[in-house]
Amino acid sequence: MNKEVNDSTYWREFDKNPLSHSMAHYLMAIDALRNELGYARSTDIAEMLEVSRGAASMALAQLKKRGWVTEDPNRFLLLSEDGARIASMVEHNFIILSKFFEQVLMVDTETAMGDACKMEHLVSNETGKRLLWLMRYLLSDEDLAVKVRERMSTYKPRCDPLTEQCPICGGTTECLATAEAVL
Protein backbone atom coordinates (compact mmCIF):
# COMPACT_ATOMS: atom_id res chain seq x y z
CA MET A 1 0.00 0.00 0.00
CA ASN A 2 1.60 3.24 -1.11
CA LYS A 3 4.76 1.29 -1.51
CA GLU A 4 6.45 3.84 -3.70
CA VAL A 5 5.58 6.52 -1.22
CA ASN A 6 7.10 4.80 1.74
CA ASP A 7 10.07 3.40 -0.11
CA SER A 8 11.46 6.57 -1.53
CA THR A 9 11.55 8.78 1.46
CA TYR A 10 9.36 11.11 -0.09
CA TRP A 11 7.03 11.28 2.87
CA ARG A 12 9.37 13.69 4.62
CA GLU A 13 8.89 16.25 1.89
CA PHE A 14 6.17 17.41 4.19
CA ASP A 15 8.66 18.97 6.56
CA LYS A 16 10.65 20.40 3.73
CA ASN A 17 7.66 22.32 2.42
CA PRO A 18 9.14 25.70 1.49
CA LEU A 19 6.52 27.43 3.57
CA SER A 20 5.43 26.39 7.03
CA HIS A 21 1.84 26.75 8.08
CA SER A 22 2.66 29.38 10.64
CA MET A 23 4.85 31.43 8.31
CA ALA A 24 2.04 31.50 5.76
CA HIS A 25 -0.28 32.93 8.37
CA TYR A 26 2.21 35.59 9.45
CA LEU A 27 2.41 36.75 5.86
CA MET A 28 -1.35 36.72 5.43
CA ALA A 29 -1.81 38.62 8.67
CA ILE A 30 0.40 41.42 7.41
CA ASP A 31 -1.61 41.55 4.23
CA ALA A 32 -4.89 41.53 6.12
CA LEU A 33 -3.82 44.24 8.55
CA ARG A 34 -2.56 46.51 5.83
CA ASN A 35 -5.86 46.14 4.04
CA GLU A 36 -7.79 46.69 7.24
CA LEU A 37 -5.82 49.34 9.08
CA GLY A 38 -3.43 50.59 6.43
CA TYR A 39 -0.44 49.47 8.43
CA ALA A 40 0.87 46.44 10.30
CA ARG A 41 3.02 46.34 13.40
CA SER A 42 4.47 43.36 15.16
CA THR A 43 2.02 43.71 18.03
CA ASP A 44 -0.97 43.80 15.70
CA ILE A 45 0.20 40.60 14.07
CA ALA A 46 0.61 38.96 17.46
CA GLU A 47 -2.87 39.99 18.49
CA MET A 48 -4.48 38.89 15.25
CA LEU A 49 -2.84 35.47 15.32
CA GLU A 50 -3.18 35.17 19.08
CA VAL A 51 0.46 34.44 19.70
CA SER A 52 2.82 36.19 22.09
CA ARG A 53 4.66 39.31 20.97
CA GLY A 54 7.87 37.39 21.41
CA ALA A 55 6.76 34.67 19.04
CA ALA A 56 5.67 37.24 16.47
CA SER A 57 8.93 39.11 16.80
CA MET A 58 10.99 36.01 16.16
CA ALA A 59 8.80 34.82 13.30
CA LEU A 60 9.01 38.21 11.62
CA ALA A 61 12.77 38.26 12.00
CA GLN A 62 12.81 34.96 10.16
CA LEU A 63 10.58 36.31 7.41
CA LYS A 64 12.76 39.40 7.02
CA LYS A 65 15.81 37.22 6.73
CA ARG A 66 14.09 35.31 3.94
CA GLY A 67 13.32 38.57 2.21
CA TRP A 68 9.55 38.26 2.38
CA VAL A 69 8.97 41.05 4.85
CA THR A 70 10.52 44.51 4.99
CA GLU A 71 9.89 47.72 6.89
CA ASP A 72 8.90 51.12 5.63
CA PRO A 73 10.73 54.28 6.81
CA ASN A 74 8.46 54.41 9.85
CA ARG A 75 9.29 50.81 10.76
CA PHE A 76 5.86 49.54 9.79
CA LEU A 77 5.82 46.09 8.27
CA LEU A 78 5.62 45.59 4.54
CA LEU A 79 5.42 42.53 2.36
CA SER A 80 8.12 42.34 -0.27
CA GLU A 81 7.03 41.49 -3.77
CA ASP A 82 7.78 37.85 -3.13
CA GLY A 83 6.09 37.95 0.25
CA ALA A 84 2.98 39.45 -1.25
CA ARG A 85 2.90 36.82 -3.95
CA ILE A 86 3.19 34.05 -1.42
CA ALA A 87 0.50 35.51 0.81
CA SER A 88 -1.77 35.95 -2.16
CA MET A 89 -1.20 32.42 -3.31
CA VAL A 90 -2.04 30.92 0.03
CA GLU A 91 -5.11 33.11 0.39
CA HIS A 92 -6.25 32.01 -3.03
CA ASN A 93 -5.65 28.40 -2.21
CA PHE A 94 -7.80 28.80 0.86
CA ILE A 95 -10.63 30.32 -1.14
CA ILE A 96 -10.45 27.72 -3.86
CA LEU A 97 -10.23 24.77 -1.47
CA SER A 98 -12.97 25.93 0.86
CA LYS A 99 -15.29 26.68 -2.04
CA PHE A 100 -14.55 23.30 -3.48
CA PHE A 101 -15.26 21.52 -0.22
CA GLU A 102 -18.34 23.55 0.57
CA GLN A 103 -19.94 24.15 -2.80
CA VAL A 104 -18.92 21.06 -4.71
CA LEU A 105 -18.43 18.37 -2.09
CA MET A 106 -21.13 20.02 0.03
CA VAL A 107 -19.27 19.59 3.27
CA ASP A 108 -20.49 21.80 6.09
CA THR A 109 -18.86 25.22 6.27
CA GLU A 110 -16.95 24.56 9.47
CA THR A 111 -15.30 21.41 8.18
CA ALA A 112 -14.69 22.91 4.76
CA MET A 113 -12.84 25.87 6.21
CA GLY A 114 -10.93 23.76 8.69
CA ASP A 115 -9.72 21.43 5.98
CA ALA A 116 -8.91 24.29 3.64
CA CYS A 117 -6.93 26.06 6.32
CA LYS A 118 -4.84 22.99 7.02
CA MET A 119 -4.02 22.44 3.38
CA GLU A 120 -3.84 25.95 1.91
CA HIS A 121 -0.07 26.20 2.17
CA LEU A 122 0.58 22.67 0.95
CA VAL A 123 -1.14 22.78 -2.41
CA SER A 124 1.35 23.10 -5.22
CA ASN A 125 0.94 25.97 -7.59
CA GLU A 126 0.09 23.61 -10.40
CA THR A 127 -2.61 21.76 -8.50
CA GLY A 128 -4.07 24.98 -7.12
CA LYS A 129 -4.46 26.58 -10.51
CA ARG A 130 -5.91 23.47 -12.05
CA LEU A 131 -8.40 23.13 -9.24
CA LEU A 132 -9.44 26.71 -9.89
CA TRP A 133 -9.82 25.91 -13.55
CA LEU A 134 -12.05 22.95 -12.73
CA MET A 135 -14.03 24.95 -10.19
CA ARG A 136 -14.75 27.73 -12.64
CA TYR A 137 -16.21 25.10 -14.89
CA LEU A 138 -18.13 23.19 -12.25
CA LEU A 139 -19.70 26.38 -10.96
CA SER A 140 -20.39 28.04 -14.28
CA ASP A 141 -21.69 25.31 -16.54
CA GLU A 142 -25.25 25.00 -15.34
CA ASP A 143 -25.73 21.56 -16.76
CA LEU A 144 -22.69 20.18 -15.08
CA ALA A 145 -23.23 22.08 -11.88
CA VAL A 146 -26.69 20.59 -11.55
CA LYS A 147 -25.40 17.10 -12.20
CA VAL A 148 -22.67 17.43 -9.64
CA ARG A 149 -25.02 18.92 -7.08
CA GLU A 150 -27.41 16.08 -7.68
CA ARG A 151 -24.66 13.59 -7.22
CA MET A 152 -23.51 15.12 -3.97
CA SER A 153 -27.02 15.43 -2.62
CA THR A 154 -27.39 11.67 -2.89
CA TYR A 155 -24.19 11.19 -0.94
CA LYS A 156 -24.00 7.94 0.97
CA PRO A 157 -21.25 7.52 3.50
CA ARG A 158 -20.48 4.04 2.29
CA CYS A 159 -21.13 1.97 -0.77
CA ASP A 160 -21.83 -1.67 -1.28
CA PRO A 161 -18.97 -3.19 -3.19
CA LEU A 162 -21.11 -6.17 -4.12
CA THR A 163 -23.64 -4.21 -6.12
CA GLU A 164 -21.65 -1.17 -7.15
CA GLN A 165 -18.71 -0.80 -9.45
CA CYS A 166 -16.13 1.52 -7.99
CA PRO A 167 -13.33 2.83 -10.17
CA ILE A 168 -11.40 3.97 -7.12
CA CYS A 169 -11.46 1.02 -4.79
CA GLY A 170 -10.15 -1.06 -7.64
CA GLY A 171 -7.91 -3.76 -6.31
CA THR A 172 -8.45 -3.07 -2.65
CA THR A 173 -10.47 -5.59 -0.76
CA GLU A 174 -12.48 -3.13 1.21
CA CYS A 175 -14.41 -0.16 -0.09
CA LEU A 176 -12.41 2.92 0.78
CA ALA A 177 -15.53 4.61 2.02
CA THR A 178 -15.97 2.10 4.79
CA ALA A 179 -12.91 3.35 6.62
CA GLU A 180 -14.33 4.75 9.80
CA ALA A 181 -12.95 7.64 11.69
CA VAL A 182 -11.27 6.94 15.01
CA LEU A 183 -9.76 10.35 15.57
* Residues, the chain: 183
CB of 4 to its own copies, least distance (A): 8
Residue 165, phi then psi, degrees to nearest 5: -90, 125
Bridge partners (DSSP) listed for residue 77? 71
61 Cβ neighbours under 8 A, 6+ residues apart: none
Q: How far apart are CA 33 and CA 44, in angstroms?
A: 8
Residue 10, phi then psi, degrees to nearest 5: -115, -35
| CB 120 within 8 Å of CB 97 | yes
By a kind-dependent CB cut-off of 5 to 8 A, residue 78 interacts, out of its own copies, DNA, none, with: none
Among 25, 40, 52, 58, which residue interacts with its own copies (rule: CB under 8 A)? 25
Q: Which of residues 103-122 bind its own copies (CB under 8 A)?
A: 104-108, 111-115, 117-119, 122
Mask for 125-164, x = binds its own copies (CB under 8 A): xxx-xxxxxxxxx-xx---x--xx--xx--xxxxx-----
Rg of the chain in Å (alpha carbons)? 21
Among 3, 4, 12, 162, which residue interacts with DNA (rule: CB under 7 A)? 12
35 interacts with its own copies by CB under 8 A: yes
CB of 74 to DNA, least distance (A): 8
- Looking at the Cβ atoms of 7 and 74, the one nearer to its own copies is 7
| CB 34 within 8 Å of CB 80 | no
Q: Residue 131 burial by CB count (10 A; 0-12/13-18/19+): exposed, middle or buried?
A: middle
Mask for 72-101, x = binds DNA (CB under 7 A): ---x--------------------------
By a kind-dependent CB cut-off of 5 to 8 A, residue 118 interacts, out of DNA, its own copies, none, with: its own copies
Q: Which of residues 33-62 bind DNA (CB under 7 A)?
A: 41-44, 50-62
Which positions touch DNA (CB under 7 A)? 12, 20, 22-23, 41-44, 50-62, 75
